[in-house]
Structure 1
Amino acid sequence: MTQVDPQVLARARARITGPVAFPAAEPVPAGLTRVAAGERVWALPAWPDGATPAVLEEYQTLPMPLDRPGQARRVLAAALRCCWTRLDDAPWPGRAAALTDVLELYATTTRGDAELMRRWAVGDLRRLADTGWLLLDEEAGTVRPGPRTALWAEESLAPLRALLRRMPPPPGGSDE
């Protein structure tokens, strides 16, 4: 039986399952980026600068499978608005926000049936969590930025900060 290189196996696992969390003492295999989060780290696939969506598609590593990409972006923005309260700081690690606050903020920024929008938003929150953009704890009723936000280049954050500043403040007084 052929032995598989553990680094190759780790990269394949990260590619299939998304970000992988493990104890901070373990080394991160080559080809993966280490994102620290207290006593654990996340290993994310590292792509060359300038990798376009076409390159990611060629490697069968789409950034996020979305049925309604516009809605998912709005859900992500609502979550970031509630979790990333100090916009002059980096978004990672952010802080946990109440899931109800994120859903309420999202509902105030959309049109249509509010209850239907909330149900769709929960599905999008789950997909965003599955792909590492958010960390969702439905049992605790919290959400916070995911490890992928740690990889955003500082120069790309200015437009995002401007967008979040234009959004209504988070409910529940979670804005600092």
Structure 2
Amino acid sequence: MGAPAQPVSEPVPAGLTTASDGERLWLLPAWPDGATPALLEEYDTAPMPMDRSGQARRVLAAALRCCWTRLDDAPWPGEAVPVPAVLEVYGGMSRGDAELARRWATGELRRLSDTGWLLLDESAGVVRPGPRVALWHDDALGPLRDLLRRLPEPPQGVLAGE
């Protein structure tokens, strides 16, 4: 169900790590390196099953391409960008029926938001990186930066914060 958020002023329970955007604090489990899906399932925190995991990864990459505006910095907390900008980048990565791809990508945005990978505000029509992105280790970011640089450019004005 994603990461629970609380005000920054609230105490943090032991055994959790946090990600903050200045206003809210998300509580995230502190799993040891190498935790397998079996261990997560044992603690009743099995990952949400994804019917189209490859598509979910591409939608996450498209969102990061738009929201992670300064690739030399950390991806968290990132920038909020219009959902259509993410869908346009995703459309540039996919083949086939563009309208069908947009509908699937919209569903994936919601699932990625439900699991804490993205923060989707449907009423405002914006998305930004979720608190789980804050847990990525610095040494894993280099290959991700290289990948994102190869993706289609976000629509004009998104990287400039307009």
TM category (shorter chain) comes to over 0.9
Moved more, 58-67 or 138-147: 58-67
Q: TM-score scaled to structure 2, two decimals?
A: 0.94
- Structure 2 partner of 1:81: 65
Instruction: Tell me which stretches of 4 or more aligned residues in structure 1 moved more than 3 Å.
Output: none
Q: 1:169 aligns with which of 136, 153, 156?
A: 153
- Structure 1 partner of 2:2: 18
Q: Residue 138 of structure 1 aligns to which amino acid in structure 2?
A: E
Indicate the structure with greater helix content: 1
Distance 1:81 1:63 in 2: 24
Moved more, 55-64 or 90-99: 55-64
- Structure 1 partner of 2:111: 127
CA contact (8 A) 2:2 2:113 kept: no
**Would you say how many aligned residue pairs link Structure 1 and Structure 2?**
160
Please state how far the C-alpha of 1:66 moved relative to its aligned partner: 0.8
- Structure 2 partner of 1:10: none
Bigger Cα Rg: 1
- Structure 2 partner of 1:70: 54
Please state how far the C-alpha of 1:85 moved relative to its aligned partner: 1.1
Structure with more contact order per residue of length (Cα contacts < 8 Å, sep ≥ 6): 2
- Calculate the aligned-residue CA RMSD, in Å: 1.2
**1:44 partner SS:** strand
Deviation readout 1:33-86 (Å, 9 max, x if unpaired): 111111210101111122123322333323342110000000000000000010
Q: 1:111 aligns with which of 85, 89, 95?
A: 95
Q: TM-score scaled to structure 1, two decimals?
A: 0.87
Distance 1:165 1:80 in 2: 11
Distance 2:115 2:64 in 1: 15
Q: How does 1:4-15 map to 2 (within 5 A)?
A: none
Distance 1:142 1:118 in 2: 15
CA contact (8 A) 2:40 2:47 kept: yes
